Amino acid sequence: MRHILSTIVLIALSFGLLHAQGEKALLKARKYEAAGEKQWPKALNYYRKAANEGNLEALFKVAENDLLSDQPCEQIKTIELLNRLEDADAFKLSNAYRKCGDMEKAIHYLKKAVDANHVEAVERLGDAYWCGRDVKEDKNEAFRLYQQAANLSTGSEKQRLLEKVGYCREYLEYIAQHNEPDNADIPSNTETEHEKGETKPLPVEDMPEYSGGIDRLMNFLRNEVVYPEKAQMNNIRGTNLIEFAVEKDGCVAHAEVKVSLYPACDEESVRAVSAMPPWKPGKSDGRLVRCLFEIPITYTK
């Protein structure tokens, strides 16, 4: 395997990856890939042909396949080699390091991608500053980055980012006007009030919303969750349930396992949920509140 990958990289380097090589094989590869999982072996065969002719897209496809793309720690060496050839893929390298737990390098490459005006990278770095994840919390810097991402975007993605800019601005104005703790220790929809001797949950009138809606949330989790190698080797299949809080600033916190599946899967689910971007925060009686959510994570081939 190591020999094959080294050969692919050397071939790519020798061609310089500057010419539109392997177009005919690439078109066939895309066609078979679009036909579904059963046609993937044929698609991979044509991707290999296109990669051997120096096509960058095909090179990535082959490298990801050979390195087991659902195991990002095994990808890093090859992606680093590829990253020398195309700076825009610093974002991909940042994601791989994040999933492997090397947050220092993840942030390093994320900032490199931001310097190249990679829109997703700009937004993700904004998320990091907004929630203080692996960088010092700086909501003003986050807000600036969200505006930058919106300015770099078009169409529906621009509208989504402008909405995010809007509710982040609302949050900054809110904390400037209210003299109260930023994020209390207990999620507000689990706090209780006494009425006629009974205890009941406080209502939340406007529940938090994930930026871009439920489809975007599901897509994030599909791309973020890594099927642990131990779980694959032990043929683990099934679903665990993760509970988490959405803070008053929209940041996700306190992720924990409510229904366990397998230790490695539980750990990965908590990591992936904790990596979610900030949500639009919830409101109750005009005040920002913290809310609890539960989300299932399924592991299957």
Residue 88 has pLDDT above 50, yes or no: no
pLDDT, one tens digit per residue, over 135-194 is: 999 999 999 999 999 999 999 999 999 999 999 999 999 988 876 655 554 445 544 443
Both 53 and 85 in one domain: the answer is yes
pLDDT at 66: 61
Q: Please tell me whether residues 214 and 291 are part of one structural domain.
A: yes
Which of 179, 200, 215 is the C-terminal boundary of a domain? Answer: 179
8 with 101, same domain? yes
Domain encompassing residue 170: 117-179
**Nearest-CA neighbor of 112 among 99, 101, 97, 132?**
97
CATH number of the domain that residue 28 is part of: 1.25.40.10
Confirm if 82 and 60 have CB atoms less than 8 A apart.
Answer: yes
Nearest CA-CA partner of 278 in 137, 173, 151: 137
The mean per-residue pLDDT over the stretch 96-108 comes to 88
- Report the length, in residues, of the chain: 301
Distance (Å, whole) CA 60 – CA 64: 6
Shared domain check, 167 and 258: no
Residue among 239, 244, 241 at smallest CA distance from 274: 244
Q: Identify whether residues 7 and 112 lie together within a single domain.
A: yes
- Alpha-carbon gap, residue 158 to 149, rounded angstroms: 8
For the ranges 2-16, 31-45, 96-110, 267-281, the lowest mean pLDDT is seen at 2-16
The sign one gets for the Cα dihedral 226, 228, 229, 233 is: negative
Q: How many domains does the chain have?
A: 3
Which residue has 């601005």 as its token pair?
169
Q: Are residues 97 and 17 in the same domain?
A: yes
Average pLDDT over residues 125-132: 98
Beta strands in 162-219 (DSSP E): 192-195, 198-201
Cα–chain center distance at 185 = 26
Alpha carbons 108 and 96: distance in angstroms, whole number = 12
- Give the span between the Cα atoms of 22 and 51, in whole angstroms: 7
Task: Work out the number of other CB atoms within 10 angstroms of the CB of residue 237.
Answer: 14
278 and 257 part of one domain: yes
Q: Is the distance from CB of 283 to CB of 204 less than 8 angstroms?
A: yes
202: confidence class by pLDDT, cuts 50, 70, 90: low
Q: Per-residue pLDDT tens for 203-243?
A: 678 899 999 999 999 999 998 998 998 998 899 999 999 99
How far is 77 from 66, CA to CA, in rounded Å?
A: 12
Among 50-59, 158-167, 168-177, 292-301, the range of highest mean pLDDT: 158-167
Partners of 257 in the β-ladder: 242
Please tell me what DSSP assigns to residue 301. -
Is 18's pLDDT higher than 50? no
Task: Give yes or no for residue 195 having a pLDDT over 50.
Answer: no
Burial 86-99 (b: 16+ CB within 10 A, else e): eeebbbbbbbbbbb
Q: Which residues contact 79 (CB under 8 A, 6 or more apart)?
A: 63, 89, 92, 93, 96
Do residue 89 and residue 105 come from a single domain? yes
> Do both 159 and 198 map to the same domain?
no
Same domain, 109 and 137: no
Per the DSSP assignment, residues forming a β-bridge with 241 are: 259, 296
C-alpha–C-alpha distance, residues 131 and 135, integer Å? 9
User: Are β-strands 238-246 and 198-201 bridged in parallel, bridged antiparallel, or unpaired?
Assistant: unpaired
CB neighbours of residue 77 within 10 Å: 12
Final residue before a domain boundary, out of 116, 146, 162: 116
Closest by Cα among 257, 280, 287 to 184 = 287
Residue with tokens 């993937």: 40
| Statement to judge: residues 14 and 112 lie in one domain | yes
Helices (H) and strands (E) in the chain, counts: 13, 7
Q: Which of 82, 97, 116 is the last residue of a domain?
A: 116
Residues 225 and 253 in one domain: yes
Percentage of the chain beyond pLDDT 90 is 51
CATH code where residue 292 lies:
3.30.1150
Q: Measure CA 2 to chain center.
A: 28
